[in-house]
């Protein structure tokens, strides 16, 4: 999984996430529930991370940039979630 952008609150990520969903890009908000339950924990947890699958990351970034979204810092891979996804899909034994 790649982190496209980190937000303080899940509501801040809603527009960008909705846009990607409408373009057929799968999205995941890491720490979404934790930030909703206790917003003061958001920064301590590293914020709410808008993530997309590795194979859709380049397309997602290009679509967002072409449509005027501010991505801030570079896209980065979340190695733990990538490893968990490999295990869950049966690609790692």
CA distances from 52 to 37, 38, 93 (A): 23, 24, 24
CA 49 to chain centre: 5
Domain covering 2-89: architecture:
2-Layer Sandwich (3.30)
Is there a contact between 31 and 46 (Cβ–Cβ < 8 Å)?
Answer: yes
pLDDT tens string for the chain (93 positions)? 888 998 888 888 899 999 999 999 999 998 888 787 887 777 777 888 899 999 999 999 999 999 988 887 655 666 776 777 778 777 766
Q: Extract the tokens encoding 88.
A: 């869950």
């Amino acid at each position: 999984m790649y982190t496209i952008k980190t937000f303080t609150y899940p509501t801040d990520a809603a527009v960008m996430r909705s846009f990607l969903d409408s373009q057929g890009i799968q999205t995941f908000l890491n720490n979404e529930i934790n930030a909703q339950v206790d917003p003061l924990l958001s920064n301590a947890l590293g914020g709410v991370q808008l993530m997309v699958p590795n194979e859709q990351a380049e397309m997602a970034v290009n679509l967002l940039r072409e449509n005027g979204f501010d991505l801030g810092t570079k896209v980065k891979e979340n190695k733990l979630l990538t490893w968990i996804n490999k295990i869950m899909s049966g690609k790692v034994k």
